[in-house]
Amino acid sequence: MSESYSHIAELHRTLPAFSPYVPATALPYLAFFLLLGTFILGFYFTTLPKDTIPIREVSVASAASILAGFGVVSLFCSSGVNV
């Protein structure tokens, strides 16, 4: 064995185990509230009046898209599909 391998193996043994920032037990609730916000913003988007410069529409759609993205990822992770 080379010296670099033994050094890396020693680091592997001494480093602490991985711990996620968000506990796995909170993922279903997080997914529910993020996706609920997505559907509420989607409904709100359909009630907006048509403007010539759609700044409000773009901001609502962007917020809904971000919520949907994180909601779907947390839903997948809570069901065991680690993405």
Segments making up each domain of the chain, as ranges: 22-79
* Average pLDDT score, the chain: 91
- How large is the greatest C-alpha to C-alpha distance in the chain, in angstroms? 70
Confidence grade of residue 1 (pLDDT, cut at 50, 70, 90)? low
Interval 28-55: pLDDT, tens: 999 999 999 999 999 998 888 888 888 8
DSSP assignment of 31-74: HHHHHHHHHHHHHHHHHSPP-SS-HHHHHHHHHHHHHHHHHHHH
Instruction: Find, among 36, 2, 18, 8, the residue nearest to 82 by Cα.
Output: 18
pTM of the model: 0.77
Q: Are the CB atoms for 24 and 78 separated by under 8 Å?
A: yes
